[in-house]
Structure 1
Amino acid sequence: MTRRVVVTTGNEELDNRLGGGIPIPSLLLIEGDHGTGKSVVIQQIVYGALKNGFRVYYVTTESTVREFLLQAKRVSFDMTSYFLKNILKIFPVHVEGARWAKNIAKLLLQVVGEFMVKTMSDWNVFVVDSFSVLAVYAGTSTVLDFLTVAKNVVSQDRVVILSVHPGALSEDIMIRARSICDGYVKLRAMEIGGMLIKAMEIIKLRGALGPVDTIIAFDVDPAFGIKILPLSLAKA
């Protein structure tokens, strides 16, 4: 089988702006606050990966399996059939609100890292959403060990995607994480001409096949998913 060099998002315009898609291999860090479209961007990548025959493991601290599938379906990413065929596997991890959260949470990142390595032959794309929830109680060395493991894993022609909330982790850890990762995308909400839009700032994307736009303006269309807006934005 011919080795594929990108994971296409299933959105032609977005792929074009990303220089062809998400490069393989790639350790991708996506940072964004609530309401900036972080979950939809990740779902768009996952949906494109599934449509192109890739197998996806999705570790989520944000929702249950049912909630994830329903949320994706609301923005036209119906992944139910992939889930039923075991092409998409969803692993909910709930730690918030439990009295033992801190004691358990500090161990979870290491467990997820070991799980990622042991199951590597079963997936092409591995998502941790949200990495910051799993890493917030872990020590610096544990976080850096996880990132090193992830970096080694992606060298085997894999893609690992980590989502983070701004300010959730120390700046020292974030500086190192941004440095280690092959791709770093920052999402933010912004107002242009009285219209509230979302913006994807591509700070780096190593291995891209073609030119990558620095800023990609977009909106979320329930009937389409991510809708790229034809706006020329200067980097703030």
Structure 2
Amino acid sequence: MDYSFDGSGGYRVPTGLVGLDVQLGGGVPPGTTILILAEPGASSELFAQQFVYGGLLNNEEVYYFSAEHPIPEIIEDMKNFGWDIDEYVDNGKMDFIDAYTLRFCNILPKGIACNLSAKDFLKQNADTMNQLKASTAKERKGQYRGVIDSISYFLRSYDMKTVTEAIEYISSIGKLTNAVQLILMTGGTHDPKVENGLKSICDGVIEFRMKERGSELERTILVRKMRGMIPPDKTISYNITNKGIELETTTRVL
């Protein structure tokens, strides 16, 4: 397992974002499940894709469970930032789980969204929650990391108790296997009690925020909590570049 070392007695798994890893003393603790809370447009999907590519470069296996976006769209978005993952998909290091297509397979005209016959469709795990649990419980070789995009879909489709139990299940698997997992959630679209409930059961919480400052749009990250460490006590500004998300190295007075 290729972990970085933070110099204070704790091993850390690098996220793939150098600036964030510096702020966190080398990365995040192995076995950590992190809630990524972001309003639309705050680039949490880009963060997840950068996290994925960082894992591949760290010689880890990666799974990406998508219920919100078509897989070809995710791959194309990653290529736009220079993260070509075709080789990793071909050799099995990158495992995409397509829950998006199955959501529409039985309601859209045949041939538009899905080429499965009715018989083949029934063979698939058509219940998205069962598909999620099966995907996260899949046995993988060596160190791995994963992304769930997004838990907001499940909150729209299932009751809170079912979603909470699923996250606890996923988190327990991560702790047993030392996997770092991101769970994406759209901020501002769910009841505050729901957000707080999910924040409480995840090992880490990272919030992506946007604010208008004059004619500019200011983007910041807040590490609200992270298991086993004291998180930074200030928000961290970041920019979107052609290389992905880059955190500012200087502290801005807000």
Per-residue CA shift, 1:76-131, capped at 9, x if unaligned? 3222222222111111222269759xxxxx94224312331233557611211111
Indicate the structure (1 or 2) with the bigger Cα radius of gyration: 2
**Matched residue type, 1:164:** M
Contiguous gaps of at least 5 residues in structure 1: 101-105
Question: Which of 83, 87, 90 matches 1:81?
Answer: 87
**Matched residue type, 1:24:** P
Shift of the alpha carbon at 1:185? 0.9
CA distance in 1, matches of 2:217, 2:153: 28
CA-based RMSD: 2.7
**Matched residue type, 1:6:** R
Q: 1:166 to 1:112 in 2, by over 3 A?
A: same
**TM-score normalised to structure 2 length:** 0.79
**TM-score normalised to structure 1 length:** 0.84
Contact 1:203 1:214 (8 Å CA) reproduced: no
Find the counterpart in structure 2 of residue 126 from structure 1. Answer: 146
Question: Which of 149, 174, 186 matches 1:154?
Answer: 174
Question: Which of 238, 244, 247 matches 1:228?
Answer: 247
**Local SS of the residue matching 1:48:** helix
**Matched residue type, 1:56:** V
Contact 1:198 1:217 (8 Å CA) reproduced: yes
Point out 4+ residue stretches in structure 1 off by more than 4 angstroms: 1-4, 96-100, 120-123
Per-residue CA shift, 1:147-173, capped at 9, x if unaligned? 210221121111121001124444333
50-59 vs 74-83, greater mean Cα deviation:
74-83
Contact 1:7 1:49 (8 Å CA) reproduced: no
* 1:206 pairs with 2:227: yes
Percent of matched pairs sharing the same residue: 24
CA distance in 2, matches of 1:183, 1:160: 10
Aligned pairs (5 A) from 1:40-189: 40-94=46-100, 95=103, 99=107, 107-119=127-139, 124-156=144-176, 157-189=178-210
Contact 1:128 1:161 (8 Å CA) reproduced: yes
Shift of the alpha carbon at 1:219? 1.2
**Local SS of the residue matching 1:118:** coil
* 1:30 pairs with 2:36: yes
Q: How many residues align?
A: 228
**Matched residue type, 1:228:** L
